[in-house]
Each structure stands twice: as C-alpha cells, then as structure tokens.
C-alpha cells in the first residue's frame, strides 16, 4: 500500500518549520523530503539534512531533465523536490512530508491529486512580524519582502485541504497529528492495508 504524501505550506514566519520538526520528532516513521536549493546555507544547516545545497547551474540542469516534482524561485533562489525520491519512498508504504510554498503545492497536486495538503497560518500579522525579526537570519530588506508576500501567500489558503492556526505550538502539533492520523484511516488506505481481514469477514461460514 503506497504511503501518504503530506504537503505543508505557510507564509514565512508562521512557524511551519518548528511545527514540522515537532511532528517528525513525535512520529519518526514519517519521512521528510529534503529539497534542493541554490541559496547559501544558514548557520548550523547541514547539506543533505536540511537541504541539498547546489549551484544555480546544477539546479537548472536537473530541472531541464525533469527531475523535480515541483520547483519554484523564491526571493531570488531556486527550490525543488526530487520526483524519483518521493515516488520510491511512497511506493514502499512510507508517509512522506513536503515542506514547500503554495506554488510547489499546486504543482504537486497536479501529479499527486490524492496528497494531503495543509496550510499553516500565524495568529496575527503582528506575531508574524515578531517571529521574522526574532529569527536573526535575514536583514531588514528580506523581512520586508517576506511581509509584503504574506497577502499573496494567504490568498491561496482555500486551495488546501486543512488549515491550522499556529498560535500555540502544542495545540497546533496536536491538530497536525490528527490530520496525519485521519489520512492513514481513509477508506481506500485501510481497505488496501487490511484486505485479508476484509476478505475473511466476507467469507461465508460453512
């Protein structure tokens, strides 16, 4: 039985990354897709763990060969997801999580229409600005661009299956885990997973 493909998107500063890390810590059986990017590593980021850091030229060559399930240019840098890796892992029955923007999510839905898509919102614009400034990883001009992009990001919220407000991390994590559990319990998944039991229950008694 193929695993579920879970797509999580959010405006910058909504706390998506912290929420994803907490989910994976509580659910180690879920695999995280590691994206390819042309941006420079931030302090503490490890190649192959947080991202596959590659040159712009290499990225464009991979895109030309059709290796990406989805790709996008964000704030001057390219990001992309390996299509082969996703297909191989879900074919093994493993649930895979994609942490991507709304543009990438739209591309994924075209190829994997059965994916579960989740949009994370901050509790307020003020909280969003506070989180972005509190990161200490971007200069004022980048933060300004991210805040300006919020309106466009949030305009795509209706395209997602589920919406979670990340005001309290523990509550948001509980809601996210509930969505993942519900996805595993979908009728088509459960029927494929427990076909032997269903056949047994449908066999007439002698």
Longest Cα–Cα distance in the chain: 76
Query: What integer pLDDT is reported at residue 193 of this predicted model?
Result: 81
The domain limits of the chain are 5-33+95-202
Model confidence at 36: pLDDT above 80: yes
Query: Of all residues in the chain, what percent carry a pLDDT higher than 70?
Result: 92
96-145 confidence digits (pLDDT tens): 999 988 988 998 999 889 899 999 998 887 877 776 666 656 666 766 77
Contact yes or no for 165/172 (Cβ under 8 A)? yes
47-51, 91-95, 141-145, 162-166: range with highest mean pLDDT: 162-166
Decide: residue 64, CB within 10 A, 0-12 exposed, 13-18 middle, 19+ buried.
exposed
Helices marked H in the chain: 16-26, 56-64, 83-91, 102-111, 125-135, 140-154, 169-184, 187-193, 195-202
132-182 confidence digits (pLDDT tens): 666 656 666 766 777 767 788 889 999 999 999 998 999 999 999 999 999
CATH architecture of 5-33+95-202: 3-Layer(aba) Sandwich (3.40)
């Amino acid at each position: 039985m193929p695993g579920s493909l879970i797509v999580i998107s959010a405006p910058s500063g909504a706390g998506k990354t912290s929420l994803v890390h907490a989910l994976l810590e509580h659910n180690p059986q879920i695999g995280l897709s590691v994206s390819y990017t042309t941006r420079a590593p931030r302090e503490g980021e490890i190649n192959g763990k947080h991202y596959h850091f590659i040159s712009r030229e290499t990225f464009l060559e991979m895109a030309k060969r059709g290796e990406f399930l989805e790709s996008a240019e964000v704030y001057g840098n390219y990001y992309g997801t390996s299509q082969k890796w996703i297909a191989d892992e879900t074919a093994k029955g493993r649930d895979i999580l994609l942490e991507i923007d709304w543009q990438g999510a739209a591309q994924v839905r075209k190829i994997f229409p059965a994916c579960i898509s989740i949009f994370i919102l901050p509790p307020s614009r003020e909280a969003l600005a506070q989180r972005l400034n509190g990161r200490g990883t971007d200069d004022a001009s980048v933060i300004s661009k991210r805040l300006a992009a919020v309106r466009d990001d949030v305009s795509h919220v209706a395209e997602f299956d589920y919406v979670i407000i990340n005001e309290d991390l523990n509550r948001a994590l509980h809601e996210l885990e509930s969505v993942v559990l519900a996805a595993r319990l979908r009728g088509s998944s459960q029927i494929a997973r427990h076909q032997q039991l269903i056949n047994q229950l449908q066999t007439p008694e002698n």
